[in-house]
Amino acid sequence: MIHSIIQYLQGYLILCVEGDSAERFLNLCSYHKIYIWNVTIHDNVYELQIRIKDFRKIRPIARKTHTHVKIKNRFGFPFFIYSHKVRVFFLVGIIFCICLLKECSARIWDVHFSGNQELTAESLMDFLQTISIYPGMRKEKIDCFQVNKVLREQYPEIVWVSTSLDGSILQIKIKENEMRRNNIPSLEDAEGIDLIATCDGVITQIITRKGIPLVHVGDQVKKGDILVSGRLEIKNDSQEIIRYQYEHSDADIFADTIKVYTDKISRKYKQKQYNKKEQRFTIFFRIKSWSIEIGSLRNSFSNVEKESVEYQIQFGENFKLPIYYGYAKAKGYHFIPKNYSKEELKTKLNLNFEQFLQKLEEKGIQITGKSVNIHLYDVFASADGTLYLNQTITQPVETEMMEIERNEPE
């Protein structure tokens, strides 16, 4: 294999040798140490392969032996270059593109965050730049374990983080502390934790893993009632409490609850009216921080709406380059006062109601019943009703610490 590659890079010829002294020609080539191979004979014509640099050496031998040598074919890299010499810039461009792609594939060009809700991608990216993590850096300089460590140290609200390299993208998956995000104080250092009800309802299911359940299926509870206690009573043989033991309660408790739904829409509204003459358009091309624009968005519109679309050049799913292109436009408009029709009001109220139900289902809340009515008035329209839900109603709180009073004998 290596020998064939070397022959291709050096280049070789396929020759046809004719004459009465063709065998003597071959012997003299061997005597003068001219390397030939793949010698075959067809109808008294010898066919052989020889290197380019040895071709000039056989001319005296051919004259001496009165043989006729003819070039049948040419192979190798030198002949390929010669045949494409008029396209040399094309070949140089191909080689340059290959080198450029190889260099770009060794770097990251995009940082993608997922799972973050409270923390914005912009703030996380600003922090990563302070520790020398930025788009355009080489992949071998990234320590994923160290990135995970510094993110957890910088942001206490992050409870889990995973960093990985996918092509030219640095993927950072984050899980935030839901209790902290919902403004619920952290109870990690609490000695005991109770579970209380977040709303009124009737218990339908309870699965207790830790703690003492204080309610049963079918019980009616109110908001703030303790459902599972984290305080265990330790009693002696006389059933007297001698001490308390505290633990973190853990349970899944579901209840049937009732939620009041209200929505209101004004009959009057303002509609945007666009003017085709009040429009500006621009096309842009950007490589990292350098950019060029064709057109301008400068305008003197009293009301303006701007829209931009940006695309990033990529190969496959995860190999992205720092090359962007797109367009932006600005449109001037003014408002026209209008009134909703009865059908439009009903449609908008129904759409709002369906979106509200969808958000409840996304939170894992089961809708067991609904009764909503739409009322149309001269100035506005409203939707009022009741939703019957089945949902988890637990919220952790710190257990109240209690001490046992001991009566010492006189």
Q: pLDDT band for 244, please (50, 70, 90 cuts).
A: confident
Q: What integer pLDDT is reported at residue 189 of this predicted model?
A: 64
Q: What CATH superfamily classification does 88-186 receive?
A: membrane protein fhac (3.10.20.310)
CA distance 324 to 211: 57
Residue 18 per-residue DSSP state: E
Strand order, beta sheet including 158-166: 110-114, 169-176, 158-166
Instruction: Measure the CA dihedral 163/166/170/173, to 10°.
Output: -40
Q: What integer pLDDT is reported at residue 273 of this predicted model?
A: 87
pLDDT of residue 359 exceeding 60, the answer is: yes
CA distance 304 to 281: 13
Q: Are 190 and 397 in contact (CB under 8 A)?
A: no
Phi, psi angle pair for 121, to nearest 5°: -65, -30
pLDDT of residue 111 exceeding 80, the answer is: yes
Both tokens of residue 31? 């005597």
Q: pLDDT band for 351, please (50, 70, 90 cuts).
A: very high
CA distance 195 to 377: 45
Average pLDDT, the chain: 84
Q: Which H or E run includes 249? A: none
Which of 115-129, 280-294, 325-339, 391-405 has the highest average model confidence (pLDDT)? Answer: 325-339
pLDDT of residue 64 exceeding 90, the answer is: no
The three-class DSSP label of residue 296 is coil
CA distance 52 to 13: 7
DSSP letter for each residue of 142-207: --HHHHHHHHHHH-TTEEEEEEEEETTEEEEEEEE-HHHHTTPPP-TT-S-EEEEESS-EEEEEEE
174: exposed, middle or buried (Cβ count in 10 Å: 0-12, 13-18, 19+): buried
Q: What integer pLDDT is reported at residue 197 of this predicted model?
A: 92
- What Rg value do the Cα atoms of the chain yield, rounded? 41
Q: pLDDT band for 119, please (50, 70, 90 cuts).
A: confident
Q: What integer pLDDT is reported at residue 186 of this predicted model?
A: 56
Q: Which H or E run includes 9? A: helix 2-10
Short-list 298, 318, 360, CA closest to 166: 318
Q: What integer pLDDT is reported at residue 382 of this predicted model?
A: 93
Q: pLDDT band for 84, please (50, 70, 90 cuts).
A: low
What residues contact 20, with CB distance under 8 A and at least 6 apart?
A: 66
Q: Are 158 and 131 in contact (CB under 8 A)?
A: no
Q: What integer pLDDT is reported at residue 83 of this predicted model?
A: 67
pTM for the model stands at 0.54
* Distances, alpha carbon 232 to alpha carbons 239, 394, 396, in Å: 14, 19, 16
Domains 2-82 and 88-186 share a fold: no
Q: Give the position of tokens 């679309």.
A: 309
Domain positions in the chain are 2-82, 88-186, 193-255, 268-339
HSE (side-chain half, CA atoms, 13 Å) at 83: 7
What residues contact 126, with CB distance under 8 A and at least 6 apart?
A: none
Q: What integer pLDDT is reported at residue 385 of this predicted model?
A: 92
Phi, psi angle pair for 76, to nearest 5°: 120, 170
pLDDT of residue 221 exceeding 60, the answer is: yes
Rounded-to-5 percentages of helix, strand, coil across the chain: 25, 45, 25
CATH number, span 2-82:
3.30.70.340
pLDDT of residue 77 exceeding 60, the answer is: yes
